[in-house]
Amino acid sequence: MSNKINYTEACNNFDKIYEEAISTREPVVINREGAESVAVIPTSELNSIIETAYLFQSPENAARLLDALQRVKAKTNMPQTIDELRKEFSLYEEE
């Protein structure tokens, strides 16, 4: 859950907000009366969110990612060779 702070407090304590965002890896939301809120978030976290959104833009890729996640959770993944993986991916490309 993100921490929330008002604009004036954020202006006076930005160094604390910066350190909190880095140490907790959670966004710090800054509210300003009569304006849209903004968030301070570590760049690596933002890049991860953007990359995840990009990967899920393709329905086919999203299905593969969700299938892989289910296999990991079910612990049904079996080790594969590089050649086996190439064959598996070539099947997806043919569809």
Could you read off the pLDDT tens digit of each residue along the chain, which spans 95 residues?
569 999 999 999 999 999 999 999 999 999 999 999 999 999 999 999 999 999 999 999 999 999 988 988 998 877 889 998 888 777 666 55
The pLDDT value given to residue 72: 86
Please give the full DSSP string across 19-82, using - where no structure is assigned. HHHHHH-S-EEEE-TTS--EEE--HHHHHHHHHHHHHTSSHHHHHHHHHHHHHHHHT------H
The pLDDT value given to residue 75: 85
The pLDDT value given to residue 1: 54
State pTM to two decimals. 0.65
